Copies of this chain bind each other. A is one copy, B any other.
Amino acid sequence: MSNSTFSVSPVGEIQSSLKNLTDALRQGSEGAPEAWITIKPAFARAMHRLEPGDDVVVLTWFHLSDRTVLEVHPRNDTSIPLTGVFATRSPDRPNPIGLHRVRVLEISENRLRVAPIEAIDGTPVIDIKPVLDAINDS
């Protein structure tokens, strides 16, 4: 099996009212706020034909994560047995990529307003993909 590593270059960044992990954890998915995604000018052409109302998956890089963690107690609840991170959404994991399904609310030049998204301010955005099908897609 290959031992190559790959280099991920952020294509943009989140601007959010969530300023730290405590804000984000307190929030949960029900109350996650809207945020702006600013796409770097070099990648702005990749937004072409995205439109308000589109449902997309935003991929982020959890830059504050601990990449050495392989097992966690889900939701930091020690009454739940240790669980491999591939069976959890823990941000601490070998490749700390976040998936956020959001709706595009507004597009202004190289910026997208989206909701709901619980990533904190300054989180790098590494990809955006359309949601193709509500059931079979991700």
A54 within 8 A of B: yes
Q: Which residue of B lies closest to A30 (CB)?
A: B136
Q: Which of A92-109 contact B (CB under 8 A)?
A: 93-95, 97, 99-101
- How many copies of this chain sit in the oligomeric assembly? 2
In the assembled complex, which residues on chain B have CB atoms less than 8 Å from the CB atom of A43? 70, 94
For A97-134 the 0/1 string (1 means CB < 8 A from B) is 10111000000000000000000001010111111101
Known: A1-B40, A94-B11. Contact between A138 and B99, CB under 8 A?
A: yes
| Contact indicator B136/A101 (Cβ below 8 Å) | yes
Q: Which 6 A-B pairs have the closest CB atoms?
A: A48-B84, A86-B128, A45-B70, A101-B138, A138-B138, A46-B84
